[in-house]
Structure 1
Amino acid sequence: MSITDPNLSDCFNDKIEEIHNKRLKTLGAILDGATGLGQCHKQFLTSALDTGLKKCKNDDMMFETIQAFKKDLKQKSALIKEKQHEISDVISEINQKETQKDKILAKIQKLREEQAKRQEVIQAQNKANKDRLRNLQKARNVFQKHLGLEIRTILGKSQLAKGEKLQFVFRNINTSHPDNAYVVTMGITEDGSYQIVSSDPALECLPVLERRLQETNNLPAFLANVRKEFISLAQR
């Protein structure tokens, strides 16, 4: 009732219409924006889904690859263990061979040392035998020249050191029968020692004379003592 301007109602309606239109435009803009956002969100979700599916597929492929790697690694680990056992066996065999080699070398060295010792013994025996042969020759010359001693070789003409024996034949023992023979047979053992085989006639003291000969290595003295024993035996 206080409104006096007749155009005020129209003006108010225009303002209301203008505000309403602005609100509709704003709402339309909001709806357009919401629609755009929805389209963007939809595109984003579609893209994210595609990316997720692709990622899932890649993950599946990666998982299969990892499983294949694990399987291959397991097989290779088993193969490595088997090779390690083989290597261990080979190393053990090599160590055994080395041990056997060391034993063989030690045995060879021992045999060489024993061979060297045997060579020394042989050389010493040969020297001793040569000395004995010289003594035999010396005794032979002395007794043949002065006492009519005859030395005979038995078992062929091989060297004395190889087992040949000698007979010492004494004569001029019995004054009644000067041609009667008194015989001592002797040889040299493998270790180079004198060995009395027998005497004819038998002398009871022959073992004592033999032992003394082995101790002194004095063959002329031995033959002189044997001759004395034969003389003593012939005078009984």
Structure 2
Amino acid sequence: MSITDPNMNDRFTGELEEILNTHLKAYAEIIETTAELSQSHRQFVKSAHDACLKKCKDDEKLFETIQVFKKDLEQKNVLIKEKRRAISEAMSEVQEKGMQKEDIIQKINNLKEEQAKRKKLIESQYKANKDKLKNLQKARLVFQDHLGLEIRTIHDKTQLAKGEKLQFVFRNINPKDQDCAYIITMGIKENGSYEIVSSDPVLECLPDLESRLQETNNLAAFLANVRKEFVAVARC
């Protein structure tokens, strides 16, 4: 046809150019689309990278916060243990003080009971001493009237003896000197027993006489025996 039709070659060439232009246009569109996709992909990658970086930073901050919270929790646990220990010690101290309080109360009650017993004992001894003083007064009347006995009340404030004492002064003992005085001094102990302080002149048998007095509690017999001993001394 190109031989018979001289325009065939031009038309063929035109069609080829048209096809080429079409393909070039399609290729250009592909390249443009690829460029757009590539740009979009780069933007997506960049966005994803930025998001990952941000996420990493957020995770680092979160990890740091967790570490801070963990350390704070450990410190709080230590403080809680210390407070529990302090509370336990305080409770032990309170219990100990409670036991000490009970012990003190018990001691106070014991002291009160002991004080009450001592008071009762003192009252009993006071009554016994009062009765003994009455006996001394009775003996005074008997011996003074019949044997010329003089009884004196003295107050001795020395270190060895304190309080009220009685002196029994015997006369009419020595035939050569009827006024010569023979003296025995005695009192009453805290337990209510008689106490021989001294005698003038000294009687060697006085401890035996005192022991017998403690046994019998007979003051009249004791004074009679003392007078006999003074008579024996005066005759020597």
Give 2:108's aligned residue: 108
Give how far 1:182 is off.
Answer: 1.3
Identical amino acids, percent of aligned pairs:
67
Show the counterpart of 1:90: 90
5+ long unaligned stretches in structure 2: 1-47
Instruction: Please give the residue correspondences for 1:78-157 in structure 2 after superposition, counting only pairs within 5 Å.
Output: 78-155=78-155
How many residue pairs end up in the alignment? 195
> C-alpha deviations, 1:112-162, integer Å up to 9, x for none?
232222212211211121111011111011111211110012227xxxx96
Please give the secondary structure, in 2, of the residue aligned with 1:164.
strand
TM-score between the two structures when normalised by the length of structure 1: 0.66
Q: Give the conservation status (yes or no) of the 8 Å contact 1:166–1:185.
A: yes
Deviation at 1:177, TM superposition (A): 3.0
| C-alpha distance in structure 2 between counterparts of 1:68 and 1:180, whole Å | 112
Partner of 2:172: 172
One-letter amino acid of the structure 1 residue matched with residue 151 of structure 2: I
| TM-score using structure 2 length | 0.66
How far, CA to CA, are the matches of 1:229 and 1:162 in structure 2?
Answer: 27
Per-residue deviation, residues 82-123 of structure 1 (Å, max 9, x unmatched): 111211221222233223223322322232232222212211
Match of 1:78, as an amino acid?
Answer: V
Q: Comparing 207-216 with 102-111, which one deviates more in the overlay?
A: 102-111
Which residue type is aligned with residue 149 of structure 1? Answer: L
The 3-state SS of whatever aligns with 1:202 is: coil
Q: Which residue does the alignment assign to 1:16? A: none
Q: Deviations over 1:187-225 (max 9, x none)?
A: 222333221122122222111011111222221111111
CA contact (8 A) 2:166 2:186 kept: yes
The whole-number CA distance in structure 2 between the counterparts of 1:131 and 1:215 is 17
1:44-55 counterparts in 2 under 5 A? none
Cα separation, 1, equivalents of 2:219 and 2:85: 74
Hey, what's the Cα distance between the residues in 2 that align with 1:223 and 1:82? Answer: 82
Q: SS at 1:78's partner residue? A: helix
1:4-29: CA deviation from partner (whole Å, max 9, x where unpaired): xxxxxxxxxxxxxxxxxxxxxxxxxx
Kept in 1, the 8 Å contact 2:155–2:162? The answer is no
Q: How does 1:12-27 map to 2 (within 5 A)?
A: none
The residue matched to 2:221 in structure 1 has which SS?
helix
In structure 2, what is the Cα distance between the partners aligned to 1:55 and 1:198?
Answer: 115
Partner residue, 2:28: none
Distance in 2 between residues matched to 1:166 and 1:191, nearest whole Å: 17
| Alpha-carbon separation, structure 2, partners of 1:152 and 1:203 | 20
- Partner SS for 2:133: helix
Compute the displacement of 1:55 (Å). Answer: 9.5
Cα distance in 1 between the residues matched to 2:92 and 2:166: 63
Q: Which runs of 5+ in 1 are unaligned?
A: 1-48
Taking the aligned partners of 2:58 and 2:234, their CA distance within structure 1 comes to 130
Structure 1 match to 2:213: 213
CA distance in 2, matches of 1:197, 1:64: 98
Residue number in structure 1 paired with 2:202? 202
